Structure 1
Amino acid sequence: MTTAPMSGRKAQAARNDELILQAAREIFTADPGAPIAAVADRAGVGISALYRRYPSKEALLQKLCGDGLKLYIEVCERVMRESRDPWEEFAGYMRGIVDADTNSLTIKLAGTFQPTEELFRDAVRASELAIEVHRRAVEAGVLRPDVTTADIALLFEQLASVRLGGQERTSQLRHRFLALALDALRLPPAHRPLPGPAPEDVELSSRWNP
């Protein structure tokens, strides 16, 4: 069964929605207090087009976090379905969540809007899956048992706070430090080569340049 192509108007609306959500993520992870007009400017759409899709800033924030939760759930379910090795299941979960970057939203947007019932349901499901991934790794003897799911949640937030250079460099560094963390979490302890080049002093000092 093939999906019928969207009409020109629907296709444009879908493109606008994608632009709006991408812009909103960029704007609000940088400054949660930014006005919704800044999102329209970044997306290159009229404010009326944005309001037709999202009647308020709160509705836009709910959509962003809802999409983030669904992506988190998708990553968990996929690694649990596809992985056969207990450690690779846990490590794949960690890498998938870092790539999804859902925790950038958590850091910046937690407590800034009223969650919906759907968000509460998805949050419960995401938590259940995180607990299950953790339980399976501990019971398989590949994850140190003194590390809790709350430890892992805060570790994700620490990794999400790494931002240096462009998107590609930021991803490199996040995976480098994730590899360090995974070696510390694994049983027996592992010492594998770290991915990507180490951060350089010039990269760190460049953040102070106006």
Structure 2
Amino acid sequence: MSYSDGMETTNAAPMSGRKAQAARNDQTILQAARAVFVADPGAPISAVAERAGVGISALYRRYASKEILLRKLCSDGLKLYIAEAEAALADERDPWTVFADFMRRIVDADTHSLTLSLAGTFTPDEDLFRESAYAEELATRVFERARDAGVLRPGLDVADLSMLFEQIAAIHLGDEERTAQMRHRYLALILDGLRLTSAEALPGPPPTAEEIGRRWIVT
């Protein structure tokens, strides 16, 4: 993002008090929903209202069903992943630094906790499928740039990244700061393995698109 001069950045009209409060309330609901459903995907929507400190009717005015709320959470997660991938593609530093920093930012964003918890619990809509396809396209470009620069071990596939992110997201130690520390500890070990350009061939093929996608099918 760039700004042409300081004067132009002051022209945007601030939200009214009511709109600003509504935006804050919505963010509070989404943060509560993420915490509730990552911990327990089967939790009722009333648990979200309780955690957010809002009435159930206020929650339903924004999200008419749990299904809609889950879609919103996943959509927001995909948008965050997309933004980080776009930032990586715009980064002109050396390919390994760009790739490693992208991996670190995705771990910090914790988008894959949503995959671990919510896959198969609701039916994605067309918008989610489009966002997912775009996120995959960008991730492939980030991966291929690093691979083509010769900084990744042979035999890797972009689909391997999804599995690695999910393994790291599975680390939960109760304390958020300690969890983040441990996730980056194991990411550092993973990055060392990804950079072993003279390593032996990996056992077995990478996950297929069908293997990754089947988890989102509600049975």
**Which of the five TM-score ranges fits, normalised by the shorter chain?**
0.7 to 0.9
Task: Write the mapping of 1:34-183 to structure 2, written as runs, cut at 5 A.
Answer: 34-183=43-192
Residue 188 of structure 1 and its aligned partner are, at CA, apart by: 4.5
1:36-71 Cα deviation digits (max 9, x unpaired): 000000000111111110000001000000000000
Instruction: Tell me which amino acid in the other structure corresponds to 1:168.
Output: E
SS at match of 2:162: helix
Unaligned runs of at least 5 residues, structure 2: 1-7, 199-219
CA distance in 1, matches of 2:154, 2:90: 23
Instruction: Tell me which amino acid in the other structure corresponds to 1:10.
Output: K
Q: Say yes or no: does 1:24 pair with 2:57.
A: no
Residue 5 of structure 1 and its aligned partner are, at CA, apart by: 2.2
CA distance in 2, matches of 1:61, 1:188: 40
CA distance in 2, matches of 1:145, 1:65: 32
Q: Indicate if the aligned counterparts of 2:154 and 2:197 stay in contact, CA closer than 8 A.
A: no
Q: Indicate if the aligned counterparts of 1:75 and 1:93 stay in contact, CA closer than 8 A.
A: yes
* Aligned structure 1 segments of 4 or more residues deviating by more than 6 angstroms: none
Instruction: Tell me which amino acid in the other structure corresponds to 2:143.
Output: H
CA distance in 1, matches of 2:151, 2:96: 6
Matching residue of 2:204: none
CA distance in 2, matches of 1:67, 1:49: 21
- CA RMSD of the aligned region, Å? 1.2
SS at match of 2:155: coil
Instruction: Tell me which amino acid in the other structure corresponds to 1:69.
Output: L
Tell me the matched-pair count: 189
Residue 130 of structure 1 and its aligned partner are, at CA, apart by: 1.2
Identity of matched residues, % = 66
Residue 32 of structure 1 and its aligned partner are, at CA, apart by: 0.4
Instruction: Tell me which amino acid in the other structure corresponds to 1:180.
Output: L
CA distance in 2, matches of 1:74, 1:19: 22
TM-score by length of 1: 0.87
Instruction: Tell me which amino acid in the other structure corresponds to 1:79.
Output: A
TM-score by length of 2: 0.83
Q: Indicate if the aligned counterparts of 2:28 and 2:52 stay in contact, CA closer than 8 A.
A: yes
Q: Indicate if the aligned counterparts of 1:141 and 1:187 stay in contact, CA closer than 8 A.
A: no
Matching residue of 1:33: 42
1:101-127 Cα deviation digits (max 9, x unpaired): 000000010111111211111100111
1:55-92 Cα deviation digits (max 9, x unpaired): 00001000000000000000001011024201011101
